[in-house]
Structure 1
Amino acid sequence: MEVNRPKECEVLADVLKVDSPPCEDICVAGRFPSYRKDRRPEGCWAAHTTLTAIEYLRLKRRLKRALEGRGIKWELVEEASILHDVGKLSEAYVTGRNVQHNVLSFVVALSICEDRVVPTSILLHHEAMHWRDLYRQPFSALQRLQRTIDMRRITRGFSLHENWRDAVMAVKRMLEILEMKHASSILDILLKNRKYRANSNQINRCLRWNRHLSKALILYWTLYLIDNRAASARDGLKAYWIRSLDGLCEYSRKPSLLADMILRSIKRADVSLTAIEPRVIECL
Structure 2
Amino acid sequence: MSDSGEFKRDATYIPDRITQDARKPEHGPVEGDLWPVEPGRYRLVAARACPWANRAIIVRGLLGLEDVISMGLCGPTHDDRSWTFDLDPGGRDPVLGYERLQQAYFQRFPDYERGITVPAVVDVRSRGVVTNDYPWITHDLFHEWRDFHRPDAPNLWPDDLREEMDEVMERVYTEVNNGVYRCGFASSQRAYDAAYDRLFTALDWLEERLADRRYLMGDAITEADVRLFTTLARFDAVYHGHFKCNRNKLTEMPVLWAYARDLFQTPGFGDTIDFDQIKTHYYVVHTTINPTQVVPKGPDPSGWLTPHGRERLQRH
What is the TM-score when the length of structure 2 is the normalising length?
A: 0.27
What is the TM-score when the length of structure 1 is the normalising length?
A: 0.29
Name whichever structure is richer in helix by fraction: 1
